[in-house]
Amino acid sequence: MSNFSGFYKLSLEQRLAILKKELSLSDDELILLKNSGSLSLESANTMIENTIGAIHLPLGLAMNFKINGTEKIIPMAIEEPSVIAGASKAAKLCLPDGFTASADPSIMIGQIQLVNVKNPKKAIETLNAKRDEILVLAKKLTESLTKYGGGVQNFKMKLIETNRGEMIIVYFYVNVADAMGANTINTFLEKISPTIAEYTQSEVRLRILSNLATKRMVRAKAVWKKEIIGEETIEKFLDAYEFALNDVYRCATHNKGIMNGIDAVVLATGNDWRAVEAGAHAYAATKEQRKGYTSLTHYEKDEYGDLVGSIELPLAIATVGGAINTLPTAKLALKILGAKSSQDLAMAIACAGLANNFAAMYALSTTGIQEGHMKLHARKNEIKG
């Protein structure tokens, strides 16, 4: 069964019939697979290979968010209890001001790897000399983005020494507007690479976007007042923060708490959460060279003794393209959030990440994380009977 050839050529019905026979699936189990929810099985079958069904996650709403003065409801898709409650509580505790946030334009990085470069120094000089010419061609090749205010902006070269000799990496900076940009950039890189190879007298290897989208940063900030959360809590909270800054085993879990909020919004809106995860952790590992892997959030006391929390991370997310058009609930989630652009969405995601990090640290520093969790587990068991 594991090497059943041509599974992808079969219709969905044929695949299910094979599964039933080979794995002795019951009729009830087949019904489970056929129940694909709001995503039709036909659509699911066009999205990936060897489709046999769809899985479901709860979709909930985090409340009380105010971002840059506007009230927001944040949709979250997640299987873990306490995440939505935690985000809502953290958002409530920083009212009436709420969060401030900002997001960079949607500049993504695409990389072309050049190997067997005859003369690396000369190759770099030639690319610099031909910059205007290359940019004219690059802009033409990214014309599909022009009407949305996007397109290629510039490029740079980096020489790397490797075990297999010197290589040149060409970095293209592309504004992808409201798209995530992976397909768009990969297509562009494949089209422009023969010209780059010709100018540099080299061979092209990889042509692929980078998920470390450091030109597409998003930031969020909130102040939790001492009158609301208590001075003692702030002291304990800052102790917890120092723990994360100075112990990578704690820091991994600290950042996981941030990703609870981030991934849940990314998933609810049909975005590529693997790209976001890869970017977030690569950034956490490189943002402070000296420290290695560190916290994506920052906490300190301001001059009034209130707790100021902030987050900064790269976010390659979209309100158009990818799976967003195919997943019916993704579009609905964007409507509920009121995200008109990828920047709107990025800011909400960053606020959710900061809120969930605050919520986890607040609970850990005071009552402990299990109390809230256990209440929800108790509710789950009640429902199960």
Q: Which stretch binds ligand NAD (CB under 6 A): 39-47, 174-182, 285-293, 305-313?
A: 174-182
> What does the per-residue mask of binding to ligand NAD show for 193-212, with x meaning CB under 6 A?
----------------x-x-
Question: Do residues 214 and 314 lie in contact, with contact meaning Cβ atoms separated by under 8 Å?
Answer: yes
> What does the per-residue mask of binding to ligand NAD show for 296-335, with x meaning CB under 6 A?
----------------------x-xxxx------------
Identified binder of ligand NAD from the candidate list 174, 179, 348, 351, rule CB under 6 A = 179
321 DSSP 8-state letter: S
Taking the complex as a whole, the smallest distance from the CB of residue 279 to ligand NAD amounts, in Å, to: 9
CA dist 180 and 330 (Å) reads 14
CA dist 110 and 23 (Å) reads 44
Token reading at 272 = 């590529």
Taking the complex as a whole, the smallest distance from the CB of residue 112 to ligand NAD amounts, in Å, to: 15
Q: Does 269 bind ligand NAD (CB under 6 A)?
A: no
Tell me which residue has its CB nearest to ligand NAD. Answer: 321
Question: Do residues 223 and 307 lie in contact, with contact meaning Cβ atoms separated by under 8 Å?
Answer: yes
Taking the complex as a whole, the smallest distance from the CB of residue 258 to ligand NAD amounts, in Å, to: 20
Q: Which residues participate in catalysis according to the annotation?
A: 80, 256, 272, 373
Identified binder of ligand NAD from the candidate list 86, 110, 157, 178, rule CB under 6 A = 178
How far are the Cα atoms of 59, 66, 308, 378 from residue 222, in angstroms, in the given order? 25, 10, 6, 32
CA dist 154 and 171 (Å) reads 8
Token reading at 136 = 């004219």
Token reading at 385 = 């009977």
Identified binder of ligand NAD from the candidate list 33, 76, 145, 359, rule CB under 6 A = 145
* The amino acid at 237: F
Site residues, ligand NAD (CB under 6 A):
144-145, 148, 150, 176-184, 186, 209, 211, 272, 275, 318, 320-323
